Structure 1
Amino acid sequence: MKPDDIHAVIAILREQCRDWRTPAVTVVADGGRDPFKVLVSCIISLRTRDEVTAVASARLFSRAATPELMQHLSVDEVAELVYPAGFYRNKASQILEISRRLVADYGGNVPDDMDTLLQFKGVGRKTANLVQTLGFGKPGICVDTHVHRICNRWGYVETKSPDETERHLRMLLPVDYWIEINDLLVAFGQNQCYPISPRCSTCRIASFCARRGVLKSR
């Protein structure tokens, strides 16, 4: 993919994504920009299917939608509310620890800068970027497995890790696309550009794609 091709690719993805399911964390954010809900739903979403994340997040927030309320729940209560999310008990402990720290050190407010967010247990660059973009509307690029894999498959970047992909995208990708690139590529990766045997024969982006690493397709 040539750097300038990204404009046409984004336009196609925007059109196609209208017919695809919105990622669960974005659904949470669309309910009203709330950095705490974005942060907690991101933690729940790790190694968990979107449909499970959406239900588990809604169930938890119906019980405690703020750090002040969340901190008073027990690990068992939070674990039961987010089950069957992957590693639900570990996530319950992380959510409670973060909630208590937010109340004790930040007046119940989620910090909006990357360095501070990364100091919280269980928060990596993917989660921190989503909090910044979906929670605060600040420029950022959330690179998960879909973004990393697809950008390399296209030939838009040539990188070995999501962190490296993020660094390259910050240099290559126009700022106007930073916030939405994760939503677009998560939907694209879940519905068209599968890790194994992607649907290349029906892909409207096929002419732009280098198909790096694609051994079999449909």
Structure 2
Amino acid sequence: MKRSASPVILLRASEHLSGSPVSTLTPTSESSHTTLRRSKRIKVESGPSEPRDDARSLLVKFEGLEETTLQVAVDAPATGTSKRKPATRVKREGTTSPKKQKPIKQALETPHPTPARWSEAYNAIKEMRSRIVAPVDTMGCNRAQLEETIPQNQRFATLISLMLSSQTKDEVTFAAVGKLREAVGGSLSVDALVRADDSVISDAICKVAFWRRKTQYIKQAAQRLCDDFDSDVPKTVDELCSLPGVGPKMAFLCLQDAWKLNVGIGVDVHVHRITNRLGWHKPPTKNPEETRLNLQSWLPLELHPEINALLVGFGQTICLPVGPRCDTCKLNDGLCPSARKGTTTRVKTGKAVVAAARKAGPEVEIAIETETVDSVRDPSSPLSDA
């Protein structure tokens, strides 16, 4: 048996009830201008509106139908002519659901091959770092908890320090954490940050990068911890990354420093840059997350907690982003494919010394003072990060 076509409905606004909330539903033939894709129960509402081109505006709501195209022909009250209105898309309200956070990827499906001679390079970096005190060693994010006495506040101070450290030097972050602690009463706690005004937080952290945005993140994160985590730092990567302003690098480092949980490697720009310079990624990775997954697939688990501080200090003192000090690095004998040969020379401009000496005729000799960086400085003094 052939299924009969759905009834066709023509919606006409009553010409006698101007501004009336009632419109008539009139069945008509298939040749009419208004068609529905499928039969559904509908509500038609007409509210007061200004007439435009002898047509009256109609608000149509469909029950049980997410999206339907409806063409409406409205008769003009005087002339009797009709005009076709453009197709109207109607969407049900309240159907959009909040996006769920994607879980943080923990491992590669196919592990990255172990780089050749990686352990030699790693041990050479450890030996160099043992003689150099870098900013991360004295002012890193793990130092913030040392000023707190309550374990719960120690964990929260570590999280705050990590949130402030994004694109900010360790020295600036360390000072901002100290100022924020004083501004909220001498101790970094969730309750203290919830009660603090935005202006108090902003004044304390105004030296860090993106301090306005970080002020919002800190306030929102503190409120979330208060409401959902009993005013304590959560113990999983996904829960930490659900907090505003917290990414995977911060989450892994926070779990290592706050909870002593070794579940992954915290990869920042230093780790990302140095491991690519060493040729440990084939092909080179494009972002820190790719670097993390590669490293976690082959680096021994016991080295995961220490590699971040090791390479960050190495990147702050020797393997600089611009002008790396390859001549002082022990990896330039074949362990680092990116090593630059020769002596790095820095010329200080504006310090020309002119000495005039007269022999047979007038002669001017110009000497330029230069500073060469061709030897390791005194191990007792940290190298400059500039």
Aligned residues of 2:193 and 2:222 also touching (Cα < 8 A)? yes
Runs of 4+ in 1 over 6 A off after TM superposition: 214-217
Measure the CA separation in 2 of the matches of 1:9 and 1:172: 19
State the shift of 1:126 in Å: 1.1
TM-score (norm 2): 0.52
Measure the CA separation in 2 of the matches of 1:30 and 1:171: 32
Measure the CA separation in 2 of the matches of 1:154 and 1:217: 20
Aligned residues of 1:60 and 1:78 also touching (Cα < 8 A)? yes
**Matching residue within 186, 208, 211 for 1:88:** 211
User: Is the deviation greater in 41-50 or in 139-148?
Assistant: 41-50
Measure the CA separation in 2 of the matches of 1:7 and 1:148: 15
**Matching residue within 222, 225, 232 for 1:102:** 225
Specify the alignment match of 1:9 in structure 2. 124
Aligned residues of 2:327 and 2:341 also touching (Cα < 8 A)? no
Measure the CA separation in 2 of the matches of 1:43 and 1:216: 40
Between the two structures, name the one with larger relative contact order (CA 8 Å, sep ≥ 6): 1
Measure the CA separation in 2 of the matches of 1:9 and 1:26: 24
User: 1:13/1:123 Cα in 2 relative to 1: closer, same or farther (>3 Å)?
Assistant: farther
Specify the alignment match of 1:191 in structure 2. 317
Deviations 1:153-189 (A, max 9, x none): 0112231210000001101211121111111111111
State the shift of 1:45 in Å: 1.1
Taking only aligned residues, the RMSD between alpha carbons, in angstroms, comes to: 2.1
User: Rg larger in 1 or in 2?
Assistant: 2
Establish whether residue 134 from structure 1 lines up as the match of residue 257 from structure 2: yes
Aligned residues of 1:28 and 1:37 also touching (Cα < 8 A)? yes
Matched position secondary structure for 1:109: coil
Deviations 1:48-74 (A, max 9, x none): 222111110011123241101110011
Aligned residues of 1:196 and 1:216 also touching (Cα < 8 A)? no
Specify the alignment match of 2:301 in structure 1. 175
Measure the CA separation in 2 of the matches of 1:217 and 1:104: 57
User: 1:205/1:170 Cα in 2 relative to 1: closer, same or farther (>3 Å)?
Assistant: same
Matched position secondary structure for 1:130: helix
**Matching residue within 252, 267, 287 for 1:143:** 267
Specify the alignment match of 2:78 in structure 1. none
Q: Map 1:24-35 to 2 at 5 A.
A: 24-31=140-147, 34-35=154-155
Measure the CA separation in 2 of the matches of 1:167 and 1:89: 32
Gaps of 5+ in 2: 1-115, 345-386
Give aligned-pair identity as a percent: 31
State the shift of 1:149 in Å: 0.4
Measure the CA separation in 1 of the matches of 2:144 and 2:299: 26
